C-alpha cells in the first residue's frame, strides 16, 4: 500500500524554463553525506555548478564551526567548556536555534532539551565514544542534577548565552535540519527556485523537476518483518521532512535495546511503542527538533501536541500484529 502526501499551504511551483540545466552536487559534512539536486540556468553567474558547490560547502562549514559537538574548536564546544556564569556571544543564527530550542522545551515540558549533552555522552551516543553496557543509575541521576533547559539564560538584547558551569549542549537533534535550512537560504539567494536537498536522511525541497514532476521523496519507515512495508511518498515543494526512529543508533545488553533518543526528563532512553515519527514542516530545523520531541512524548501525548500545534506528523507504532500508523490532523489533510 502507498500513501501519498501533497503540500496544501504553498503556491503552485513555477514551471522550469526549457533550457534549465540539472545539477547534482555532493559532499560530506557533519559526519554524514549530503546531496543537492537543482535546476540552474546556463549563463547565470550564480548558477555555476562549481560556484554553488563551494557556496554550499561554506554554509556547512559554518554550521560545523558553530554547532559541532565533535569538533573541539567549535563555538558549541567552547561554550560547553566555559566556566560558570560566563556569558558567550552567539552569531544570530546560532542564537535563533537556541531560542527556538528553549521554546520547544517549554512547550513540551522538557521532553525536548538541548542541555542533555552529558547524558548523550554518558550513554555512548556522543563524541566520548560508544558503549556496550548501560551506565550506572547513580551516574544518570548525577547528570540530571546538573541542570536542564531551565538553567539556561539567554540575553535577547545582546545575543548571549550564559553557562551555568555544569551544562553541556548537544544539537544533534536539530543541527542537521538547521544546516538544510541554511543551504536552502543560500540557494534561494542565488535565484535557484527548484532544488532538493538531502543531509543525512533529512530533506527539503522547492519547485519541480525539469519534466515538471514534483520532487517526490519516500518517507523513511522501519521494516516490518512479517508484512510488506507500507510506502509513504511526499511531494516536497516548500516542505522539509525529518524522521526520528529507534532503529538507527542503539546498543543491546541482556536482550534489551537502548536506543539513542533519550528522555531528558528521566535520563534514560525512550521506552514506548513508537518505531518512528516523521514531521513535515516548512522549516527543516523545526521538523528535526519536533520529530525528536514527539518521539519522546510518545504516541498519545505526541499526537495531542501535534494536533494542538497544527504539526503534520506521522507516527508508526510497533504492535504484535505489525506496524500501525497514526497521523495528526494536519498530516491527514495532505493525503492525496
Residue 283, φ and ψ in degrees, nearest 5: -95, 120
142, part of any domain: yes
Does the model's pTM come out above 0.85? Answer: yes
CB of 187 within 8 A of CB of 36? yes
For residue 99, what pLDDT is reported? Answer: 97
CB of 275 within 8 A of CB of 245? yes
239, part of any domain: no
207, part of any domain: no
For residue 253, what pLDDT is reported? Answer: 54
CB of 29 within 8 A of CB of 200? no
Taking the C-alpha atoms of residue 272 and residue 47, their distance in angstroms, rounded to an integer, is 47
Taking the C-alpha atoms of residue 316 and residue 244, their distance in angstroms, rounded to an integer, is 11
10, part of any domain: no
Residue 247, φ and ψ in degrees, nearest 5: -105, 5
Taking the C-alpha atoms of residue 334 and residue 10, their distance in angstroms, rounded to an integer, is 12
For residue 20, what pLDDT is reported? Answer: 94
CB of 198 within 8 A of CB of 35? yes
143, part of any domain: yes
126, part of any domain: yes
CB of 319 within 8 A of CB of 225? no
For residue 224, what pLDDT is reported? Answer: 58
For residue 245, what pLDDT is reported? Answer: 78
Q: 511526499: which residue's cell?
A: 234
For residue 117, what pLDDT is reported? Answer: 93
Q: Which distant-in-sequence residues (6+ apart) come within 8 Å of 170 by Cβ?
A: 69, 114, 115, 116, 117, 120, 126
Question: Measured between alpha carbons, how far is residue 80 from residues 1, 67, 86, 102, 192 in Å?
Answer: 47, 11, 11, 17, 37
Please give the residue range of the domain that contains residue 149. Answer: 77-162
Question: Measured between alpha carbons, how far is residue 255 from residues 4, 129, 243 in Å?
Answer: 37, 21, 25
Taking the C-alpha atoms of residue 44 and residue 185, their distance in angstroms, rounded to an integer, is 18
How far from the centroid of its chain's Cα atoms is residue 187's Cα? 20
For residue 255, what pLDDT is reported? Answer: 56
Question: Domain tally for the chain?
Answer: 1
For residue 1, what pLDDT is reported? Answer: 73
147, part of any domain: yes
Taking the C-alpha atoms of residue 67 and residue 171, their distance in angstroms, rounded to an integer, is 7
For residue 130, what pLDDT is reported? Answer: 78
Per-residue tens of pLDDT for the chain, all 336 residues: 789 999 987 788 888 988 999 999 999 999 899 999 999 999 888 899 999 999 999 999 999 999 999 899 999 999 999 999 999 999 999 999 999 999 999 999 999 999 999 999 998 887 777 777 788 999 999 999 888 999 999 999 999 999 988 899 999 999 999 999 999 999 999 999 999 999 999 999 999 999 999 999 998 777 655 565 678 999 999 999 999 976 555 555 555 555 678 999 999 988 888 989 999 999 999 999 999 999 999 999 999 999 999 999 999 998 877 789 999 999 999 998
For residue 261, what pLDDT is reported? Answer: 86
Q: 503556491: which residue's cell?
A: 11
210, part of any domain: no
CB of 202 within 8 A of CB of 172? no
Amino acid at each position: 500500500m502507498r500513501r501519498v502526501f501533497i503540500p496544501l499551504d504553498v503556491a503552485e511551483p513555477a514551471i522550469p524554463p526549457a533550457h534549465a540545466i540539472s545539477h547534482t552536487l555532493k559532499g560530506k559534512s557533519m559526519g554524514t553525506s549530503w546531496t543537492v539536486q537543482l535546476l540552474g540556468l546556463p549563463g547565470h553567474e550564480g548558477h555555476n555548478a562549481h560556484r554553488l558547490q563551494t557556496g554550499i560547502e561554506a554554509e556547512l562549514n559554518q554550521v560545523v564551526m558553530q554547532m559541532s559537538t565533535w569538533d573541539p574548536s567549535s563555538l558549541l564546544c567552547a561554550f560547553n567548556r566555559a566556566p560558570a556564569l560566563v556569558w558567550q556571544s552567539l552569531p544570530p543564527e546560532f542564537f535563533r536555534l537556541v531560542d527556538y530550542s528553549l521554546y520547544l522545551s517549554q512547550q513540551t515540558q522538557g521532553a525536548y532539551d538541548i542541555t542533555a549533552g552529558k547524558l548523550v555522552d554518558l550513554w555512548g551516543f556522543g563524541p566520548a565514544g560508544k558503549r556496550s553496557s548501560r551506565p550506572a543509575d547513580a551516574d544518570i541521576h548525577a547528570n540530571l542534577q546538573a541542570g536542564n533547559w531551565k538553567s539556561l539564560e539567554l540575553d535577547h538584547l545582546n545575543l548571549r548565552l550564559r553557562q551555568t558551569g555544569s551544562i553541556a549542549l548537544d544539537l544533534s537533534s536539530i543541527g542537521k535540519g538547521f544546516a538544510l535550512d541554511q543551504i536552502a537560504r543560500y540557494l534561494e539567494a542565488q535565484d535557484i527556485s527548484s532544488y532538493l536537498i538531502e543531509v543525512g536522511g533529512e530533506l527539503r525541497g522547492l519547485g519541480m523537476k525539469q519534466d515538471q514532476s514534483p520532487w517526490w521523496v519516500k518517507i523513511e519507515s522501519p521494516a516490518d518483518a512479517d508484512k510488506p512495508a507500507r510506502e509513504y511518498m511526499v511531494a516536497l515543494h516548500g516542505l522539509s521532512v525529518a524522521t526520528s526512529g529507534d532503529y538507527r543508533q542503539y546498543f543491546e545488553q541482556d536482550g534489551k535495546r537502548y536506543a539513542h533518543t533519550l528522555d531528558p526528563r528521566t535520563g534514560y532512553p525512550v521506552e514506548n511503542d513508537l518505531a518512528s515519527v516523521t514531521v513535515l514542516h516548512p522549516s527543516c530545523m523545526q521538523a528535526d527538533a519536533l520529530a525528536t520531541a514527539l518521539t519522546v512524548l510518545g504516541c498519545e501525548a505526541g499526537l495531542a501536541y501535534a494536533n494542538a500545534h497544527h504539526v503534520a506528523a506521522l507516527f508508526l507504532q510497533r504492535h504484535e500484529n505489525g506496524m500501525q500508523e497514526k497521523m495528526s490532523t494536519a498530516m491527514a489533510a495532505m493525503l492525496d
